[in-house]
Amino acid sequence: MTTFSETFANTADFKTVLTDKTGEAFVREGFDATWGKVNVSDRPDLADFQCNGALAVAKQAKANPREVATKITAHLTGDTAIKSLEIAGPGFLNFVLSDSALSDRANALSADERLGAPVVETKRKVIIDYGGPNVAKPMHVGHLRTAVIGESLKRIMRFMGDEVIGDAHFGDWGYQMGLLITAVSDEQPDLPYFDETFDGEYPVHSPVLLSDLERLYPFASNKGKENAEYRDRARKATRELQDGRKGYRALWQHFVDVSKTSLKEDYRILGVEFDLWNGESDADPFVAPMIEELKAKGLLETDQGAEIIRVAREDDKAEIPPLLVVSSEGSAMYGTTDLATIKQRREEECPDLILYAVDQRQSNHFTQVFRAAYLAGYASEGQLEHIANGTVNGTDGKPFKTREGGVLKLGDLLAQANSAASVRLHEAGLGKGLSDEDFNKTTWQIAVSAIKFAELSNHRLTNYVFDLDRFMVFEGKTGPYLMYQAVRMKSILRKAVEQGVSAGEIIVTEAAERELVLLLDGFEAALKETYLKRAPNILADHVYRLAQTFSKFYAACPVLIADTDAQKSSRLALVKLTLAQLEKGLDLMGLTAPEVM
């Protein structure tokens, strides 16, 4: 495995172009090019872009900042892309771009099949471990975050050129399985799975339904906490399962199949697709050789009958406890499977990077596992990253619960969102001309957009309040708003076809057109930052602002009833480009807009 620095090719946005030009001007004045860094202006009423380098360099060179700024501007006059370049305040450079530069950029973006998106300079092989569903545990609102964030990161990194594998890392191993086996054996002791002398074929049909597992798991889990004897039985069953006891393996396979079917249905509705459904159990064959290897490397230490790896470092601020590799009962633990999975991934996929989109409450766990992996040589520093997320709260500010105080299953939550979407559409007088089938498809698209966009518009570490009513409105920073704006654009394009108007060269003249093109140009920077920070909320923000700016543009600049044919074609081309970028952005968030509404 090798590590790469994360840089991008295909960069052509205004920020990059102006930074290059300004950097060159600084060089001609004997300064370092890095002072020429240009950013989007924080005063869009005054300028499109700004550079603060003259101020900083003057301070260092003990020169007058306005004088430095004046010399820099002198090198940039005569550039037709720049309409005006002014020195503001103590020495800021304020750039306003010319209409022709904006027109050229818009036409270039229209011609670019990537719509201005950069690609990574060096393609990497990335595994994203996300979703993390478990046998017998129905998903709830907490599982949304890892699924939605992981799916989006997968799509973004893939679009930017990496080879990305999404792995569900199914929780199908460990003590929970022992608990379930124990619970089933108490309820249905006569099943052949528990008879060690049985050597026939085990039944094809599962002796338990999903509802049984959902009932048995919390029951057994509580009983294991209260009752030491029960806990010991469950631990013994866990070890025997892991050691390959035939009946247990066969029963366990039913647990896995029954759970997977239901989990896959939830993910399907959510538009979350994994390339791999590897389970924790799939790492099992790697565990024994790994333990031998860790022993040989002198990394394992016996501690009160358990085998551990010490991972604390001198400069740790908080204590990082050792990683428990083999419990005193001889079982592989959660950390053991994670470590073995890294070894497995290295042997099977040889990734350059593994991202774990998992709740931040597991951050100590990942610190332990990653350090152990580095010590063992299964990965090098920097190749393993925990992409942590915060919690989803209810409107009362506490972790989300149903009104009755219980946990709302994800499947039920999705169904609720779907009926809310249908109510909203009726209220808004939308969807009238749709067939029942299309109406149903649309309500799902709206419902999923509401939930996913609410998730993605927050930074992943932010705790947010799950408030379906707020997520579901057509006005505001919501998924349905994005859907609605996309549908408006699609309707303009359809009408244009009817009226025989076709898209042509983009000629920017109006303020609202300028604003829209500047935003379209910002796709590149938004994607770069999203990628580097593993933060899809940056992309979500871009997509939202694009929809908003389009709406402003459309109010100010009529398209099909514009004054001249050239204007109609130009604005139609802008709508087409905006829709294409919007839909790309939606797709990268795992969303699809309806055709009509």
Give the residues lining the site for ligand ARG (CB under 6 A): 129, 132, 134, 169, 171, 338, 356, 358
Rounded CA separation 143/448 (Å) = 15
Residue with the two structure tokens 């003590």: 175
If the CB atoms of residues 64 and 261 are measured against ligand ARG, the closer one turns out to be 261
Rounded to 5 degrees, what are φ and ψ at 388?
A: -80, 150
* Sign, CA torsion 279/243/285/247: negative
Shortest separation between residue 517's beta carbon and ligand ARG, angstroms: 42
Alpha helices in 331-407 (DSSP H): 334-348, 363-376
Shortest separation between residue 206's beta carbon and ligand ARG, angstroms: 21
Rounded CA separation 488/481 (Å) = 11
Question: Residue 354: in which H helix or E strand, if any?
Answer: strand 353-359
If the CB atoms of residues 49 and 356 are measured against ligand ARG, the closer one turns out to be 356
If the CB atoms of residues 338 and 524 are measured against ligand ARG, the closer one turns out to be 338
Shortest separation between residue 131's beta carbon and ligand ARG, angstroms: 8
If the CB atoms of residues 308 and 333 are measured against ligand ARG, the closer one turns out to be 333
Helices H / strands E in the chain, number of each? 20, 15
Shortest separation between residue 589's beta carbon and ligand ARG, angstroms: 22
Shortest separation between residue 169's beta carbon and ligand ARG, angstroms: 4
If the CB atoms of residues 325 and 577 are measured against ligand ARG, the closer one turns out to be 325
Query: Whose CA is closest to 121, among 9, 275, 255, 233?
Result: 9
Distances (CA, A) of 397 to 403, 453, 464, 510, 558: 13, 20, 9, 45, 44
Shortest separation between residue 115's beta carbon and ligand ARG, angstroms: 33
Distances (CA, A) of 363 to 211, 283, 485: 32, 21, 39
Shortest separation between residue 338's beta carbon and ligand ARG, angstroms: 5
Residue with the two structure tokens 């951050």: 363
Shortest separation between residue 356's beta carbon and ligand ARG, angstroms: 5
Shortest separation between residue 515's beta carbon and ligand ARG, angstroms: 42
Ramachandran region, residue 184 (left: φ > 0; alpha: ψ -120 to 50; beta: rest) = alpha
Shortest separation between residue 357's beta carbon and ligand ARG, angstroms: 8
Contact 196, 136 (CB under 8 A): no
If the CB atoms of residues 146 and 182 are measured against ligand ARG, the closer one turns out to be 146
If the CB atoms of residues 140 and 235 are measured against ligand ARG, the closer one turns out to be 140
Contacts of 309 (CB under 8 A, 6+ apart): 294, 299, 300, 301, 322, 323, 325, 372, 375
Shortest separation between residue 407's beta carbon and ligand ARG, angstroms: 13
Shortest separation between residue 231's beta carbon and ligand ARG, angstroms: 20
Four-point Cα dihedral 372, 376, 381, 382, nearest 10:
-70
If the CB atoms of residues 174 and 536 are measured against ligand ARG, the closer one turns out to be 174
If the CB atoms of residues 155 and 345 are measured against ligand ARG, the closer one turns out to be 345
Rounded CA separation 26/57 (Å) = 9
Beta bridge partners of 393: 399, 465
DSSP 82-128: EEEEEEETTTEEEEEE-HHHHHHHHHHHHH-TTTT--EESS--EEEE
Name the residue with the smallest CB distance to ligand ARG.
132
If the CB atoms of residues 388 and 543 are measured against ligand ARG, the closer one turns out to be 388
If the CB atoms of residues 358 and 526 are measured against ligand ARG, the closer one turns out to be 358
Shortest separation between residue 358's beta carbon and ligand ARG, angstroms: 4
Rounded CA separation 391/143 (Å) = 10
If the CB atoms of residues 134 and 485 are measured against ligand ARG, the closer one turns out to be 134
Residue with the two structure tokens 């039913």: 254
Rounded CA separation 430/532 (Å) = 39
If the CB atoms of residues 169 and 528 are measured against ligand ARG, the closer one turns out to be 169
Residue with the two structure tokens 């209220």: 427
Rounded CA separation 549/480 (Å) = 16
Rounded CA separation 404/395 (Å) = 14
